Amino acid sequence: MTTVSLQNVTKYYTPNAPAAVHSLNLELAPGSILALLGPSGCGKTTTLKLIAGLLQPEEGRIWFDGQDVTGLAAEQRNAVMVFQHHALFPFMSVGANIGFGLKIRKMEKKLIAQRVREMLELVQLPGMQNRMPAELSGGQQQRVALARALVTRPRLLLLDEPLANLDAHLRDEMRGLILDIQKKTAVSTIIVTHDQEEAMMLADRVALMFNGRLVQYDDPETMFRKPVSAQAARFLGVKNIFPAVRDKNQVATAFGQLQLDAEDAYTVVDGPCMLAFRSEHIRIAGVHDVNIFSALIKSRTYLGLRVSYLALLDGTEVQFLCEAQEVKFSAGEIVSLCLPFEHITLLPLQDPQLH
What residue ranges bind ligand ATP (CB under 6 A)?
13, 20, 38, 40-46, 194
Closest CB to ligand ATP among 42 and 120? 42
Report the nearest approach of ligand ATP to the CB of residue 47 (Å).
Answer: 7
Report the nearest approach of ligand ATP to the CB of residue 133 (Å).
Answer: 24
CA distances from 21 to 66, 210, 223 (A): 22, 10, 21
What is the enclosing helix (H) or strand (E) of 102? helix 94-103
Closest CB to ligand ATP among 207 and 241? 207
Report the nearest approach of ligand ATP to the CB of residue 22 (Å).
Answer: 11
Closest CB to ligand ATP among 8 and 250? 8
Closest CB to ligand ATP among 25 and 316? 25
Report the nearest approach of ligand ATP to the CB of residue 275 (Å).
Answer: 29
Alpha helices, DSSP H only, in 152-202?
168-185, 196-202
Closest CB to ligand ATP among 115 and 213? 213
Q: What angle do CA 195, 201, 206 make, to 5 degrees?
A: 70
At position 237, the amino acid (one-letter code) is G
Report the nearest approach of ligand ATP to the CB of residue 36 (Å).
Answer: 8
Report the nearest approach of ligand ATP to the CB of residue 51 (Å).
Answer: 12
How far is residue 72's CA from residue 224's CA, in Å, rounded to a whole number?
A: 36
> Beta partners for 242?
275
How far is residue 241's CA from residue 231's CA, in Å, rounded to a whole number?
A: 10
Going 327 to 332 to 336 to 337, the CA torsion angle's sign is: positive
How far is residue 139's CA from residue 145's CA, in Å, rounded to a whole number?
A: 10
Closest CB to ligand ATP among 120 and 202? 202
